[in-house]
Chain A
Amino acid sequence: MSLLRRPGMLWLALPATAVLLFTYVAPMFGLARMSFNRTLPGGAMQPDWTLATYAEMAADSFNLELTLNSIQLSFTATTFALLLAYPVSLFLFRTESRFRSLLAIIAIGPLLVNGVVRVFGWIAVLGDRGLVNSALLALGLVSEPVRLIYNWTGVTIGLTESLLPYMVLALLAGFGRLDREVEAAAMSLGARPWRVFVRVTLPLSLPAIVLGWLICFILAMSAFVTPKLLGGGRVFVLATQVFEEAVDTVNWPLAAALSVYMLVLLLLFLGAYGALTRRVER
């Protein structure tokens, strides 16, 4: 509002707008345009305005399965990430330790490591001869290695871990309404610590939870490296399918149509988020 009243300030947004136009908006339109092109039997693409690709996509029941896979995987990984990140973030938010910033950097440190490298780290940990299985075997808890990678378990573990730093950041950003004084008030009114948590801390951190959950859910839906590498070709989600269609099958209109479909799906989630936050704010 105030920006619009001082048009001079709008110039400050110009560089970012230009960059976004070229790197984001233009390719998106290009992608959307491509999804209406025709694929010739030989695999070549012919400019056109047809809904044939969308019809093909809708007719293929495998795409519904992929959608459900994507949603289920993202839901599980995001929820695990939330459960793991919440106590850490709460601690980081509150600690008066001198090492607070250091601890925060450690918590979001994994972002500094390339996603592919992290996946290989997981393979070393979760593989048949990995850390976990060696320990389980050595302890005699299992007689043969447990399959922890190249399946849904592995992908869920890897995805959860890759979401953690984002979840911590989002929670820290959303904890603004938490107030020690209000919790102290609850305690002075007779609430034991766990009741303070359930009745005050948790409700007041709901905006943070919703924000973190949404951001990570979107990240999880579009995650490609982890399902591809930790899935070992046995885990199929929308993101891997787009890659397959674009790179292996070289059916660009279909890859584009799938991308548009994913985008619409995420926009729907965003809409639901908007409605939800309006209710939380109430």
Chain B
Amino acid sequence: MSHVRLDALSKVYGSNAPAVDDLTLTVERGEFLALLGPSGCGKTTTLRMIAGLVPPTGGTITVGGADVTSLPPYRRNMGLVFQNYALFPHMSVADNIAFGLEMRNLPRSEQTSRIAEALAMVRLEGYEKRRPRELSGGQQQRVALARALVIRPDVLLLDECLSNLDAKLREQMRIEIREIQRRLGITAIFVTHDQVEALTMCDRVALMDRGRLAQVGTPEDVYERPANRFVANFVGRINVMRGEANGASLAVAGAPVAVANAPRTQGTVDVMVRPHRMTIRPEDVAAAAGENRVSGTIGRIVYIGDVIQVAVDTPAGPLVAERTTTGPDWHTLAVGQRVAVAWSAADTLVFPPEAR
């Protein structure tokens, strides 16, 4: 049975467009769900409604079968980690962690042992007496996590809590949070606008677009089988070409293009292909069967380290193909060279253009 259930959840601030619009979503017990979307799409609002800090204007929230929609935050038992940590600046690390236990009137001895346990979990033993401002960002983040986990919440809610950390620390914290979440078997909802974070950490990803749910699925689902143009565009890099659909056939820049799942639409469509699914071929070598290709001139080569990005100007528009730098042959490419860009039918995504 699902653990957390959002049913037609909505939030309208004043007379603005809805911040969250008719959101229906379930989270399984022990699942780690990412709530992913661009800035302002309503992620924080959703999370705060689950925590009870923002009253919904419509819909219901169920946790473990019980309707909590109208419960105040202090009766919900949710562990919330804020984007800016929101530690109590006037309390030591130990007092910060103890706060939730005190509110639950736990005996002193149990408090002490649980605090020690929580500090060990986030590897901050010996920092009990420090004030939050005497800690680094990463350490504050861990205190916030410990403070939220020590109360043994029903659900752990994390709001972009890694975005203030440097790349290295962020990667390390991703692994740590995932590890702790798995060990405790706790249901967690992780808000982020960083797709790498969502894809690498979470069991499932829920994508939000302007307050609405755009798609929910495993990282592979949303990456390989995006449900719509928004998801294809938001998750990972992608090339966009203008195509003409005519029943089962599709043409880009006048040339036919093979598609695995033919669109049943008519007229102008967006044809999308991921850069690393495009390969650079010599122009004079014939196309393999079922392979789509378009010729062009290399306009730019960007060296990233593990890959190079080759921008090719083609009749279908500028396309970017990625090639790994594993072998030596990538050195043979040069700006101004005539090449063919090739990709398979299975890697071709087709969507009706974004309605405006």
Contacts and interface: CB of A to CB of B under 8 A. Distances in A.
A254 to B, nearest CB: 47
Given A190-B104, A191-B74, A184 B88 contact: no
A193 B151 CA distance: 19
Interface string B96-124: 00011001100000000000000000000
Contact of A204 (B74, B90, B147, B148): B90
Interface in B49-90: 51-53, 72-74, 76-80, 82, 84, 86-90
A177 B77 contact: no
Interface string B250-274: 0000000000000000000000000
B90 A203 contact: yes
Interface in A193-211: 195, 199-200, 203-204
A192 B90 CA distance: 19
A186 to B, nearest CB: 7
A192 B86 CA distance: 17
A189 B103 contact: yes
Given A181-B82, A181-B84, A184-B73, A189 B89 contact: no
Given A195-B103, A204-B89, A187 B84 contact: no
A114 B147 CA distance: 53
A204 B89 CA distance: 8
Interface of B is mostly: loop
A185 B145 CA distance: 12
B90 A188 contact: no
Nearest to B151: A189
Contacts of B80: 184-185, 188
B103 A184 contact: no
A179 interface: yes
> Which of A177, A185, A187 has the largest count of B CB atoms less than 10 A from its CB?
A185
A200 B99 CA distance: 11
A51 interface: no
Interface residues of B, number: 25
A58 interface: no
A182 interface: yes
A178 to B, nearest CB: 10
Interface string A266-277: 000000000000
Contacts of A181: 82, 84, 86
Contact of A186 (B52, B72, B77, B99): B99
Contacts of A190: 74, 77, 100, 103-104, 151
A185 B97 CA distance: 12
Contacts of B52: 188
A4 B51 CA distance: 50
Contact of A189 (B53, B84, B100): B100
B147 A189 contact: yes
Contact of A191 (B53, B86, B103): B103
Question: Of residues B52, B82, B99, B147, which shows the largest number of chain A Cβ atoms within 10 Å of its Cβ?
Answer: B99
Contacts of B72: 187
A202 to B, nearest CB: 10
Contacts of A187: 53, 72-74
A185 B157 CA distance: 12
Interface in A237-263: none
A181 B80 CA distance: 11
Interface string A62-80: 0000000000000000000
Contacts of A184: 53, 73, 80, 82, 86
A179 B148 CA distance: 18
Nearest to A195: B103
A201 to B, nearest CB: 11
Contacts of A179: 86
B90 A189 contact: no
B52 to A, nearest CB: 7
A182 B147 contact: no
A200 B100 CA distance: 13
A188 B78 CA distance: 7
Contact of A182 (B74, B79, B86, B104): B86
Interface in B187-217: none
A177 B84 CA distance: 14
Nearest to B105: A190
Interface in A142-197: 177, 179, 181-182, 184-192, 195
A75 B259 CA distance: 84
Contacts of A182: 86-89
28 contacts: A179-B86, A182-B86, A184-B53, A184-B73, A184-B82, A184-B86, A185-B80, A185-B82, A185-B86, A185-B88, A186-B88, A187-B53, A187-B72, A187-B73, A188-B51, A188-B73, A188-B78, A188-B80, A189-B100, A189-B103, A189-B147, A189-B151, A190-B74, A190-B104, A191-B103, A195-B103, A200-B88, A204-B89
Interface of B: 51-53, 72-74, 76-80, 82, 84, 86-90, 99-100, 103-104, 147-148, 151
Given A182-B88, A204-B90, 4 more contacts: A187-B73, A190-B104, A192-B74, A204-B89
